[in-house]
Amino acid sequence: MSAWEGFLRQARAARIWSRLGGTSDVVVAAAALVALLLVPLTATAYGLQLATDILAAVALAYGWNLISGFTGYLSFGQVSFYGLGAYATALLVSRTPVPWYGAVLLGGILGAAVALLLGPIMLRLRGILFALGMLGLARILGIIFNNWNFAGASLGLSLPAALTPLAVYGGMALVAAAAFACNAFFVHSGFGLDAMSLNEDEAAAVAFGVPATRVKVIAFVLSAIFPALVGGLVAWNRSYIDPTSAFKPSLDLETVVFVLFGGIGTLWGPLFGAAVLMVIGEELLVYLPNFELALFGGVVILTVLVLPGGLVGLANRFGWLRRPLVLAPAALPEGAPPAPRAMPAGDVPVLEVRGLTVRFGGLVALSNVSLTLRRGEIVSIIGANGAGKTTLFNTITGFITPSVGRICYLGRDVTRLPTFRRARLGMARSFQIPRLMRSLTVWENVVLASRHGGQAHRAVAHTAWVLRITGLAALWREPASRLSPGHQRQLELARVLALHPALVLLDEVMAGMTREEREGVRNVIRHLPEFGVAAVACVEHVIAAVADLSDRMVVLDFGHEIAAGPPQSVLRDPAVVRAYLGEPL
Amino acid sequence: MLALQLAINGILLGGLYVLLAQSLNLIFGVMGVVNLAHGGFIVVAGLFTYWFTIRSGVSPLVVLPMAFIAMGAIGALVQRFLIEPLMRFGSRAELLSLMITFGLSYLLVDLALQLWGADFVSVPYLQSSWTVAGLAFNQALVIAGIFAAFISAALYAWLNLTLSGKALLAASQSPVGAICCGIDVGRVRLVAFALGVGLAAAAGVLVIIVTPLAPETADDFTLLAFVIIALGGLGNYLGVAAAALVLGLVQSAAGYFLGGSVEYILPYVLLLGVMMLRPQRFRRAAS
Amino acid sequence: MAPRRRGILLWARRASGLVLAGAALVLGMNAAWAAGPIVVGATISETGPLAADALFQLRGEQLAIAKANAEGGWLGRRIVLKYYDDKSSPGTAVRLYQRLITEDKADLLLGPYSSLVTVAIAPLINKYKMATLEPGASVPTIYVPGNKWNIQPVASSTTYLHQLLPLAQKDGAKTVALLGLQSAFTLACDQARTAQAKRLGLKIVYSTTYALPQPDFSSIALAIKNARPDVVLACTYYPDAVGITRALHEQGYAPRYLGETVGPVEPAFIAALGPLANRILSNTSWWPNFKTPGNRTFIADYKKKFGEMPDYHAAAGYSAVEVLGAAVKATHSLDQAKLRRWLLTHTVQTVQGPFKVDANGRAIGATQDMVQIQNGVLKLVSPPSLAQAKVLVPYTGS
């Protein structure tokens, strides 16, 4: 079935439309809508201009929220798109017969195109470096336009005047509404969930099938459209644009303050922050002109120290405006076990690793390691700390590229395949230290993986089933940060199952567990083949727990394989005893 | 001769850049705290120097130790009350420290505006150059450069050769591990931040001798310092010193042959260029 | 009636008579104010990068209005200046002018400070058809046929330092280096001076533009040194004027003529550069020794009220109000169309010289004159009729 049909099915199953939010959300939305409609009817020309400016700030805030709030890439250079949109609109309106709305739209498309070009490059960086890169871009664009005579150089461009202030208001309202809709899409959709998971922990997200680059670039492109549209409308509104005001640094700074104050990464935060601070700023401007900067600074500091969640965070404490669970039904359905996975014909091994060598500079972490997993096998990999066990897993799943060697999965050479694609093909791993998405709920952690795995077309039902069999059904709405360590481990396991994997790699999954918990995990491992898992590899230190479970055991020591075979003989092997065990088991 | 003079100009400019960047390097490269108020501290110290020297007539170099200690103390307070409370947020601390220092920069600029107005001001000290073998050595930049070299060497030595410096490195690499070794991590961070701010203040005192300052220029210094650190490698003292010198040289040459506008955008072009062509440096540093 | 009662009635009659008379008197006086004050609206950059100079313009405006009020106001009404801080931001200024026009219902408007902000509000002025004098905007491109309600009371930036090149050429100069800051008005100046150099047949041996912040001008100075021009003409603001002067000194080159716009006229310039500032030439639209009507009063009042000497920005603000007052009085109205017609066709003598504009509102009467720093003090050196001193050459940097 096509992706669209799959999506519709999921949406219906999740009853998205009825889950659009609680009462508080509806109230706020209604109030905003009423205000939006009342303004043109009742306000003076000044009030209309102020409202237009507020809507511009709201649209910019929502645009910024997409890349910086949800996806976690703080950008201090969104003004680049604002300026590009402004200039595109100005040039088109003043030199071509294109009508204003066409020019503004084309400006928006230009912003998106530039973001599409630059995104893959810029988004390789995180944190302050990405912010810096964007800021540098804005500066460079400012200089370019300052020198470009066709665009008026530093004297700027004049445009024919806007039709009516009402037209500008209407245009700005549409842009703000579209930006809001985009944010709503992020909050409610699987795509938004992907973005939020990247924000939290990119490596873990990728291990569960999130196509990181694609998601980031799309978010970046979306976040570029709105400043470009706003820039175009502002240029048209003012009938004039010049490099200084088109690429002004204060735009990003104000936007950041607005979103932070309102609540970063939330649906209503940008609206609250922009509206409240714009109005306060305007009134302060009239009565207290000299202290605006200090006040802005004070707002930011206080918000970070006292209210890091902003106004929305404050509302959340009263139970209002809580973020709804993504793709979640009202009640946890029964779910059903998945159909068995289609396996390639013949006796193709599930995993075949040949001659794997991994070097980190001068250090050789793995040396000529080979491993084959056949269908139905459970293999445990043991060895002292630093032997290279986790490195082996990291290389198999694609976090590390080997210097030498091949990895074949289900008969296919995956040595150069990105991690998320391996995850989608059914290669699942758990992490040594659980890397859960702590800001998301249990449900969302699992559905994130379900969406990308073999059961993506029935992700909701599959997620429900996985939660039930791993014993997390009662906790499905809990934030992952509040789980006990034992439950966290269960959640790790649940995520693995959610991918509907053919190959499961468990990295010290039993560490720190009680006997009962260990028994539970052993049970799950034993039953994995019933769930379509063709082969399991475990890295373990709790040897007693896996000795009777494994068909084969492999021992690593300083990156070399020193023994392999049935557990009983391996554990008596003198080399193994010498290197690791200390005495025969 | 021309090439030599360009090179000297470039190196001296690079010395100024080292001065601007090293203190930020200490705070960001080692502590992971993004101090967006860096430029604000520089400008406040510089403007204070102007105000003080105009009133009292003493040389600005006398003001330097005063500014260092006073701003260092302020830095300690900032760290204690604004930054330290954020450390409990773990991975989100970088983002939050970015935000809070961002707010702080606004406060500092407003303070400077209230106290000293929006005007550009400058101190008429060391305005000439020493001429050696027909080559001109800008006096103010030479002094600044000597000081910058001293700071870089001292920082490098302190961090790598003394116990307290190593404690700082340990605390930045693994706070939990450092605590287990008996290191008072909170105090180490306090000292590092205070030192970073003190050094920024010293930079401000020297900068106002070289070029006029106004409150509005604070952000430009912050940006420039970050660009230099990014080019040189976060936490890497020798790298940042080298990057600063290279940037100074390239800007000097570009300014001569290609004009003022190119000189202006060169740091950003270089940054974007490096980001695009050798992103792995940043990936390793950023992780 | 009993005598006491009669006394009371009499007293009551007299008292009420007095009260009525007093009321009539007061009402009569207030009849003059009965229409309310004339509101003159403006924004000014109280904060932001442009604040330092904008303050002077504001003070000039305030002083002129206070003087006008002391003389009985305009049309018998008191004048009130209602102003807001536009934070040096064009966007904010647009909103605030909107507020002044539609909410505060300003009767008259004055422009903000700087071409940057003025250009942003110009369309709004046209839309609401308010004849507005723009004392802060010297970029001539504002005053074009489409912008018919904006009127320029100050000389265009294209006239800054226009006396320098002919003067130098008469003295034998043949080569010139031109520098320009990348900003609307300095670039307009740079372009005009470049065209002038070409017209005069001077050889341009070096030219470049640059942007702020620029901490180091040594490369530019070195390039200038190698080109060895007779004249260096830089269209600058303040920090770059300081930077260029210092850099030239450090690289060891002193052109015969060194001219910089705007920067050298700031009081801090001489303090910042000391001996390096001597013999630098700059421009001004106003000077204390101008023998223009009301100039001495203007200077005395300004010093008394604000404790320092006014500068040409203050003079610009002051003159703008003078011109506005003249127009209002001459047309006996606040009708914008009438005011505009009058302003475009009349000359007004102000403290900064004659106000006269062409049909597009562009200034043709205002002039820019040349000053030079001599022994740590600014002196007017052109026009010859008002010059306080002769131009001293060469520039030595000491």
Q: Which of A244, A270, A299 is a domain's end point?
A: A244
Q: Are residues C138 and C198 both part of a single domain?
A: no
pLDDT digits 0-9 by tens, A291-324: 777 888 888 888 888 888 889 888 888 888 888 8
Q: Of B7, B2, B1, which is closest to residue B248 (Cα–Cα)? A: B7
Mean of the per-residue pLDDT values for chain A?
86
Under the banding of pLDDT at 50, 70 and 90, the label for residue A132 is confident
Burial of B280 (0-12, 13-18, 19+ CB in 10 A): exposed
pLDDT, position A15: 43
Judge whether residue C89 has pLDDT over 90. Answer: no
Residues of C within 8 A of A239 (CB-CB) are 123
- Which pLDDT does position C112 carry in this prediction? 93
pLDDT in tens, A222-274: 999 999 999 999 998 888 888 888 988 778 888 988 998 898 889 999 999 99
Computed on alpha carbons and rounded to an integer, the radius of gyration of chain A in Å comes to: 28
pLDDT of residue A17: 40
Range in B165-169, C26-30, C41-45, C199-203 with the lowest mean pLDDT: C26-30
Find the angle CA(B32)-CA(B34)-CA(B37) to the nearest 5 degrees: 145
What pLDDT was estimated at residue A90? 92
User: Is C216–B117 a contact, with Cβ atoms under 8 angstroms apart?
Assistant: no
Contacts of C276 (CB under 8 A, 6+ apart): B127, C245, C246, C249, C397, C398
Q: Which pLDDT value is given to residue B73? A: 95
CATH number of the CATH domain containing C232: 3.40.50.2300
Kindly give, in sequence order, each residue whose CB lies less than 8 Å from that of residue A144, ignoring residues fewer than 6 positions away. none
| Domain end point (choices A186, A221, A244) | A244
pLDDT at A58: 96
**Residue A56 pLDDT:** 95
| Integer CA distances (angstroms), B97 to A151, A544, B224, C90, in order | 39, 47, 19, 31
> Which 8-state DSSP code applies to residue C226?
H
Task: Count how many domains chain A has.
Answer: 2
Taking residues C341-352, what's their average pLDDT?
91
Residue A347, classified by CB atoms within 10 Å of its CB into exposed (0-12), middle (13-18) or buried (19+), is exposed
Q: Residue B99, by phi and psi: left (phi above 0), alpha (psi -120 to 50) or beta?
A: alpha
CB–CB contact A147 C209 (8 Å): yes
Using alpha carbons only, give the angle A520, A521, A524 rounded to the nearest 5 degrees: 90
pLDDT score for C30: 46
Q: Which amino acid is at A540?
A: E
Sheet of strand C369-374: strand arrangement: C203-210, C175-181, C231-235, C257-260, C280-284, C369-374, C377-382
- C149 and C166 within one domain: no
Residues C226 and C373 in one domain: yes
Is residue A439 domain-shared with residue A576, that is, in the same domain? yes
Q: How many domains does chain C have?
A: 2
Say how many CA atoms lie within 13 Å of C323 toward its Cβ: 39
Residues of A in contact with C126 (CB under 8 A): 161
Question: Is C14 inside a domain boundary?
Answer: no
How far does the CA of residue C73 sit from the closest CA of chain A (Å)? 26
Residue C308 lies in a domain: yes
Chain A: residue whose CA lies nearest to B264:
A143
Residues C73 and C142 in one domain: yes
If asked whether residues A392 and A538 sit together in one domain, one would say: yes
For residues A436 and A562, membership in a common domain is answered with yes
Find, in chain B, the residue whose alpha carbon is nearest to that of C214.
B264
One domain for residues C59 and C199: no
Using an 8 Å CB-CB cutoff, list chain B residues near A129.
Answer: 230, 275, 282, 285-286
Q: What share of chain C is helix, strand, coil (3-state, %, to 5)?
A: 45, 20, 35
Q: Write out chain B residues lying below 8 Å of A127, CB-based.
A: 34, 94-95, 286
In this structure, the answer to whether residues C249 and C374 fall within a common structural domain is yes
- Domain for residue A36, yes or no? no
Residue B287 has pLDDT above 60, yes or no: no
Q: Is residue C391 part of a domain?
A: no
pLDDT digits (tens, 9 = 90+) for A478-499: 889 889 888 888 898 899 999 9
- Do C187 and C54 lie in one domain? The reply is no
Who's near C198: CB < 8 A, 6+ residues apart? C204
pLDDT band for position C21 (50/70/90)?
very low
Q: Do A143 and C90 touch (CB under 8 A)?
A: no
Q: Counting beta carbons within 10 angstroms of the beta carbon of residue A129, is it exposed (0 to 12), middle (13 to 18) or buried (19 or more)?
A: buried
Q: Do B260 and C213 touch (CB under 8 A)?
A: no
DSSP string, A491-510: HHHHHHHHT--SEEEEESTT
Determine, yes or no, domain membership for A224.
yes
**Å between A436 CA and nearest CA of chain B:** 14
Q: Is residue A278 part of a domain?
A: no
B94-133 per-position pLDDT tens digit: 778 888 888 899 899 989 988 888 778 888 777 777 888 8
Is the CB of A45 less than 8 angstroms away from the CB of C182? no
> Domain check: are C130 and C49 in the same one?
yes
Segment holding A240, helix H or strand E: strand A240-241
CA nearest neighbour of C135 among C120, C153, C109: C153
Q: What whole-number distance in Å separates Cα of residue C280 and Cα of residue C101?
A: 44
Q: Which domain holds residue C97?
A: 38-155+290-355
* Confidence (pLDDT) at C329: 92
Residue A452 lies in a domain: yes
C202/chain B closest Cα distance in angstroms: 21
Q: In angstroms, how far is the first alpha carbon of chain C from the final one?
A: 100
In a domain, residue A306? The reply is: no
Answer whether B196's CB lies under 8 Å from B28's CB.
Answer: no
Span A505-537, pLDDT tens digits: 998 888 777 888 888 888 888 888 887 888 999
| Concatenated DSSP letters of A125-188 | --HHHHHHHHHHHHHHHHHHHHH-GGGTGGG-EE-PPPS-HHHHHHHHHHHHHHHHHHHHHHHH
> What residues are paired with A379 via a beta bridge?
A537, A552
Residue A358 and residue A234 in one domain: no
CATH of the domain at A403: 3.40.50.300
Q: What are the structural domains of chain B?
A: 2-123+132-286 (1.10.3470)
Instruction: Give the residue with greater pLDDT, C157 vs A58.
Output: A58
Residue among B28, B268, B286 whose CB faces A136 most closely: B268
Q: Are C269 and C334 a contacting pair, CB within 8 Å?
A: no
Q: Is residue C221 part of a domain?
A: yes
Inter-chain residue contact A240 with C89, CB threshold 8 Å: no
Tell me if A277 is assigned to some domain: no
- State whether A285 and C101 contact (CB < 8 Å): no
Distance from CA of A35 to the nearest CA of B (A): 31
Unique residue bearing structure tokens 């198999």:
A396
Interstrand relation of C348-350 and C353-355 (parallel, antiparallel or unpaired): antiparallel
- pLDDT for the residue A333: 84
Give pLDDT tens digits for A3-61.
Answer: 555 555 554 544 444 445 677 888 888 889 899 988 888 888 888 888 999 999 999 99
Residue B112 has φ and ψ, to the nearest 5°, of: -60, -40
Same domain, C146 and C118: yes
Asked if the structure places residue A286 within a domain, the reply is no
Give phi and psi for C179, each to the nearest 5.
-125, 145
| Residues C130 and C217 reside in one and the same domain | no
Q: Are residues C186 and C208 in the same domain?
A: yes
Please tell me the number of Cα atoms within 13 Å of A284 on its side-chain side: 14
Interior/surface letters C349-370, b for 16+ CB within 10 angstroms, e for the rest: bbbbbebbbeebbbbebbbbbb
Do A240 and A385 fall within a single domain? no
Q: Answer yes or no: do C252 and C376 share one domain.
A: yes
What is the distance between the alpha carbons of residues A485 and A470, in angstroms, rounded to a whole number?
14
For the cut 50, the answer to whether the pLDDT of residue B70 exceeds it is yes
In a domain, A342, yes or no: no
Contacts of residue A110, defined as CB under 8 A and 6 or more positions apart, other chains included, come to A84, A85, A88, A228
Domain membership of residue A50 as a residue range: 44-244
